[in-house]
Structure 1
Amino acid sequence: MKKIILLTLLFISGFYFSQQIHVKYLRVLSPFTTSHEDLYIKNNQTISIQDSIVTQNKLTGDWTMAVNLDNGKKPTKQYFVSDLNDDSERNFFFTANVDSRDFFIYDKVPKPTWKIEEDQTKTIAGYKCYKATGTFRGSKIIAYFTKDLPYSAGPFKFYGLPGLILDIRTENKDHDIWKAESVNVDDKSTITFKPKFLNKEKISLKDYVEAKEAHMNKIFAKVAENLPKSSKVITNQRFTVEQKYEWEK
Structure 2
Amino acid sequence: MRKIILLLFMVCAQILTAQTNDYKITYKQFISYGDKLKRDAILYVKENQPTVMHRIMASTTVLEEQKPTELPKSIKSDAVVIKGGNDTRKPFDYGVFPDPYLMVDQQNKKNIAIDYIGTKRSFLVTDDLLNYTWHITSETKKIKEYTCYKATTTFRGNKYEAWFTPDIPLNVGPWKWYGLPGLIVEVYDMEKKEIYLLEKIEKLTEDIPFPKNKLKSISLKEYIIEKDEFFGNPLGGSLDRNTTVTTDYKRSGLEKIFEWEEK
Query: TM-score by structure 2 length?
Result: 0.73
Q: What does 1:170-185 align with in structure 2 at a 5 Å threshold?
A: 170-171=189-190, 173-184=191-202
- Aligned-pair distance for 1:10? 6.1
> How big is each residue's C-alpha offset from its partner over 1:86-144, in whole Å with a ceiling of 9 and x where there is no partner?
xxx711011111132110011124232221112x2223343221001111211100000
What is the aligned partner in structure 1 of residue 69 from structure 2?
A: none
- Where structure 1 has 5 or more consecutive residues not aligned to the other structure, the ranges are 1-5, 223-231
Deviation at 1:151, TM superposition (A): 2.6
Asked if 1:20 corresponds to 2:22, the answer is yes
2:156 to 125, 137, 143: 137
In the alignment, does 2:204 pair up with 1:187?
yes
Aligned to 1:115: 135
Pick from 74, 82, 106 the counterpart of residue 84 of structure 1: 106
Aligned partner (choices 252, 256, 259) of residue 239 of structure 1: 252
**Unaligned runs of at least 5 residues, structure 2:** 1-9, 64-77, 84-88, 237-245
Q: 1:75 aligns with which of 94, 97, 122?
A: 97
Letter in 2 for 1:52: M
Distance in 1 of aligned mates of 2:221 and 2:16: 41
Query: What residue identity is the alignment partner of 1:170?
Result: D
Q: State the AA in 2 paired with 1:29.
A: I
Equivalents in 1 of 2:158, 2:173: separation in Å? 16
Output one character per residue of 1:17-51: Cα deviation in whole Å (capped at 9) or x when no partner.
x1311211111111611111101111122111111
Paired position in structure 2 for 1:34: 38
> In the aligned structure 1, how far is the partner of 2:144 from the partner of 2:176?
21
Q: TM-score, normalised by structure 1?
A: 0.77
Correspondence for 2:57: 52
Give the distance between the partners of 1:112 and 1:128, measured in 2 at CA: 24
From 142, 154, 175, give the equivalent of 1:156: 175
CA distance in 1, matches of 2:105, 2:224: 23
1:137–1:147 distance in 2 versus 1, CA, 3 Å:
same
Q: Which amino acid aligns with 2:18?
A: G
3-state SS in 1 of match to 2:57: coil
User: Residues 146 and 165 of structure 1 are in contact (CA less than 8 Å); yes or no, is this contact kept in structure 2?
Assistant: yes
> Does the aligned pair in 2 maintain the 1:44–1:84 contact within 8 Å?
no
What secondary structure sits across from 2:109 in the alignment?
strand
Whether contact under 8 Å (1:111, 1:160) holds in the other structure is no
Matched length: 217
SS of match in other structure, 2:184: strand
Percentage identity across paired residues of the two chains: 27
